[in-house]
Chains A and B, each alone.
Chain A
Amino acid sequence: MTELRARSLAVDLGQRHALSRVDLTLPSGRLTVIVGPNGAGKTTLMRTLAGLLEPTAGQVTLDGQPVSRMSAGERSRCIAYLPQGGNVAWPLPVADVIALGRLPHGEKPDSLSLKGQEAVAAAIHAADLEGFENRPATELSGGERARVLLARALATQARVLLADEPVAALDPRHQLIVLDVLKEQARAGTTVAAIMHDLTLAARFADEIILLNQGIVAASGPPEAVLTEELLAANFGIQAHVSHDGGHLVVVADRPLAEPGQGG
């Protein structure tokens, strides 16, 4: 069972302490959603978990093995990372962009193995991209391109999938499609973590939510334990109304508070 774990993680970016004393475990088979206000350190945490940023202190381990000691090739086969707001520089066909996810396995878009071809086809199907294969990636809408980039990350078939705001540019239908994909990946045994801003969607799809604020884990646990009006006031600086609707948690932000943590 795959387990990505951070122990006493600290990251300094210049003079700023971006992360301090972060302890968390991302188990396989679960979708963990990371939420937090702007500047909370979510992306820094994601990049550190992906092994792209060296922690100042502490370490990230994958099944007990420090990620920082893995070779770049091994790390890229184990951890797929989808950065925020990704772009494609050239008008490459969608299928070629998705096939780049096979690079960690030494497969190039023009010489995919049978397994690679199957992985690419599965990723295209999962991201609802059938019929897009030959279209230039630069001519797609923002939402379509976001799904192409997600499919690229899926095509790696890594044990861990880390996605930084994968639904930020998507319409509601495709938000649901993408989150269903992430959930399915988790159900299939992958360790999946995603950063999200839509708290209602997060509550609906997450098995576990990690609330990050000012570089520390302010709360973690099942959605109903983390997305409380008190914690949202203390960490997001909002007066929110949390209710249950048809078995789903609904978070409505009513108004900003003058200072985070201020009640009423």
Chain B
Amino acid sequence: MRSSRLPLIFGLILLVGALSLASLVIGPAPITPFKALTALVSDQGSTSIVVRDIRLPRTLLALLIGWIFGLTGAGLQGLLRNPLADTAVFGAPQAAAFGAVLVLYSGLVGALSWALPFAAILGALLSVALVVTVAGRRATVVVLVLSGLAVGSLAGAGTSLAISLSPNPFAVTEIVFWLLGSFEDRSIIHVWLAAPFILAASVLVLSSSTGLRALALGEETARSLGVDVMRLRLLLVAGAAIGTGASVAVVGSIGFVGLVAPHLVRPFAGYDPARTLVPSGLAGAALLLAADCAVRLIPSQTEIKVGVLTAILGVPFFLWVIARRKAELAEMPV
């Protein structure tokens, strides 16, 4: 009836492992894979500093954030029963960025404060709440996308306002570069700031898997099968907002991973939303690790921001999915 998911998950874990190793190896300082692994576990002088303090944090962040983007993307696509769903549909990344920029801009806290992820999570939650309120419970995809676009634009305008009113040009540059999304110059403290939230978001999303299965048949049928649809919605939306907020707070805006990852695994994992969750998370981690390795390999004067690369690759993919499924997307209620 269906193939086992285990070979797929095992293969993806191997891929993520290989890309993590590549991420520890690739950079201006040439380090062999063996030396990189040795430098991780024992003190190898400057090599250990490069591997542990520079490359390990960005590797862990790419892995964690790619995982949560892929996982929440698959969860939201299952919840909205729509292959175009992603946190960006709710304007959540822009709102999270606005929340974080407000905190940075106010000067109350530094870039390494716990207030940053909390502000970003709050921004993401508010944007989702606003989109759901405006679009209503039985919104069509068109209404949902338009509401998300409006909320995202509002948050973007808020961010632009904060930047244009900033009296300090250096702070402006810093915020703008941060908004582009990058793993560059992130320390292990950034990992600790994001990891607990990403873990909590993962638990929330994964706990909704049975409900997502039933939701494939619509809300009414899911309820008749014993699923608490309101709770399911709350779990997923909270998980997505917390995951997005925590990620945006430490690395800025990186889009389209959550949209792309589920599509990459469906040919192998099938379309059951519950069965795509974990493979999508792993595919998201692999994608973001690969993208972060790629920006280090692409020859340029300064490193290309990974958020720019994911957008350049993600937007054509988004358009391709729309072109393929436009007929059924036209009138699909969510």
Whether A109 lies near B213 (C-beta < 8 A) is yes
> Does B214 sit within 8 A of A, measured CB to CB?
yes
Give min CB distance, B170 to chain A, whole Å. 49
Q: Which of A47, A90, A152 contacts B271 (CB 8 A)?
A: A90
Which of B81, B225, B270 has its CB near the most chain A CB atoms (within 10 A)? B225
Q: Which of B241-298 contact A (CB under 8 A)?
A: 270-275
Sorting the interface of chain A by its residue count into under 10, 10 to 19, 20 to 34 or 35 or more gives: 35 or more
Give min CB distance, A72 to chain B, whole Å. 4
Whether A108 lies near B271 (C-beta < 8 A) is no
Whether A100 lies near B216 (C-beta < 8 A) is yes
Whether A91 lies near B227 (C-beta < 8 A) is no
Whether B272 lies near A92 (C-beta < 8 A) is yes
Q: Find chain A residues with CB under 8 A from B216 CB.
A: 88-90, 92, 97, 100
> Does B158 sit within 8 A of A, measured CB to CB?
no
**Per-residue CB proximity of A138-169 to B under 8 Å, as 1/0?**
00000000000100100010000000000000
**Per-residue CB proximity of A62-103 to B under 8 Å, as 1/0?**
000000000011011101111100111111110111001101
Whether B225 lies near A104 (C-beta < 8 A) is yes
Q: How far is the CA of A47 from the CA of B220 in the complex (A)?
A: 9
Whether A90 lies near B273 (C-beta < 8 A) is yes
- With known contacts A80-B224, A103-B225, A97–B217 Cβ distance under 8 A: yes
Q: Find chain A residues with CB under 8 A from B2 CB.
A: 93, 96, 109-110
Q: Which of B224, B228, B270 contacts A50 (CB 8 A)?
A: B224
> Does A188 sit within 8 A of B, measured CB to CB?
no
- With known contacts A52-B220, A76-B224, A83-B224, A100–B81 Cβ distance under 8 A: no
Q: Find chain A residues with CB under 8 A from B228 CB.
A: 72
Can you report 22 residue pairs joining A to B where beta carbons are below 8 Å apart?
A: A72-B227, A76-B226, A77-B226, A80-B224, A83-B220, A89-B216, A89-B217, A89-B218, A92-B216, A93-B270, A96-B1, A96-B272, A100-B213, A100-B214, A100-B217, A100-B225, A103-B227, A104-B225, A133-B1, A134-B1, A149-B217, A152-B221
